[in-house]
Structure 1
Amino acid sequence: MQPRIDFYTASPDALKAMIALETAVSKLPLEKSLIELVKLRASQINGCAFCVDMHTADARKSGETERRLYAVSVWRETPFFTDRERAALAWTESLTRLSETHAPDADYELLSSQFSPSEQVDLSLAIATINSWNRLAVGFRKMPQA
């Protein structure tokens, strides 16, 4: 696959806004390990090779285990994730596949059993942000470094 355009240089002002949003997400009072799992799962669903590569590496640098990283795509079938992580991963899938799921009540109930209202919004913003990055990277074919 060939890269299409460098979206950073093609529209620097728009990307400044995205970077500012990403900076804000990085300062949210949620567990960094949880955010990396969410970013990885959304990127897997969206088929974003660049982001899967980046967030796997970032999670490993932050101490995440190989075993858990390998299991993110099958998190429902493993015992490796906490109830809070499971709620976040379910919500990630619901919002990432919004046209299919319409954010079902069961996923929202799971979310609200593990996250406060402000954490629910913060998590949803983190999910929306990675989905935006995925759309840019997939759409313009941003490639991971070999």
Structure 2
Amino acid sequence: MSTRVNLGKAAPELYQAVAGLEKLATKAIASAGLAEGFAHLLRLRASQLNQCAYCVRMHTRDALANGESSDRISVLPAWRESAYFDAKECAALELMEAITLIADGQVQDSTYELAAASLSSEEIAAVEWLAVVINAWNRIAISSRYPVAP
């Protein structure tokens, strides 16, 4: 594996700007009343879809540290097939996935309508901003090849 440019070290002011967005998105999640542990599951789901090993490991650990169960983490890739998530959480997961996979058909009206039926405008905005930020982090970590070793 070749050595890559570490984006955080190459452009620390840009990295800090993303870190600032992360703080604001986390604040929006809390303000909207979404649980911190579940917010890590949202980040984890985007990271799984993007195949960001660094972020998958980090958000798994963060979700556990913030009260999420190993069962909910384990079934996350198949959340639609489980009864571990309530309607609000399912709507948030659906929205997170749609934004993460935006090149595969945009965010469909049906996805947004499902979100609007279960989430407040504040919750939708918080989830959408969290999606924007975690997808930025995934791209930073993947393109920089952040190391992931035991």
TM-score, normalising length: structure 1: 0.94
How far residue 5 of structure 1 moved from its aligned partner, in angstroms, is: 2.4
Q: How does 1:61-140 map to 2 (within 5 A)?
A: 61-140=65-144
Look up the equivalent residue of 2:9 and give its one-letter code: T
How far residue 119 of structure 1 moved from its aligned partner, in angstroms, is: 1.8
Quote the Cα distance in structure 1 between the aligned partners of 2:105 and 2:122: 23
Partner in structure 1 of residue 27 of structure 2? 27
Quote the Cα distance in structure 1 between the aligned partners of 2:86 and 2:3: 38
Give the gaps of 5 or more residues in structure 2: none
Is 1:17 the counterpart of 2:17? The answer is yes
Residues 43, 51 of structure 1: 8 Å contact kept? yes
Q: Deviations over 1:30-69 (max 9, x none)?
A: 3212211110000000000000000000000011111110
How far residue 118 of structure 1 moved from its aligned partner, in angstroms, is: 2.1
Quote the Cα distance in structure 1 between the aligned partners of 2:64 and 2:134: 18
Residues 38, 68 of structure 2: 8 Å contact kept? no
Q: Deviations over 1:62-92 (max 9, x none)?
A: 1111111011100011111111110011001
Give the gaps of 5 or more residues in structure 1: none
Residues 38, 63 of structure 2: 8 Å contact kept? no
Quote the Cα distance in structure 1 between the aligned partners of 2:123 and 2:133: 15
Q: Identity rate of aligned residues, in percent? A: 35
Look up the equivalent residue of 2:20 and give its one-letter code: A
> Structure 1 residues 2, 35: CA separation in 2 closer, same or farther (over 3 Å shift)?
farther
Quote the Cα distance in structure 2 between the aligned partners of 1:19 and 1:26: 11
Look up the equivalent residue of 2:147 and give its one-letter code: M
Figure out how many residues of one structure are paired with residues of the other and give that number. Answer: 146
Moved more, 23-32 or 71-80: 23-32
Partner in structure 2 of residue 45 of structure 1? 49
Quote the Cα distance in structure 2 between the aligned partners of 1:3 and 1:55: 24
User: Helix, strand or coil: the match of 2:24?
Assistant: helix
How far residue 145 of structure 1 moved from its aligned partner, in angstroms, is: 4.6
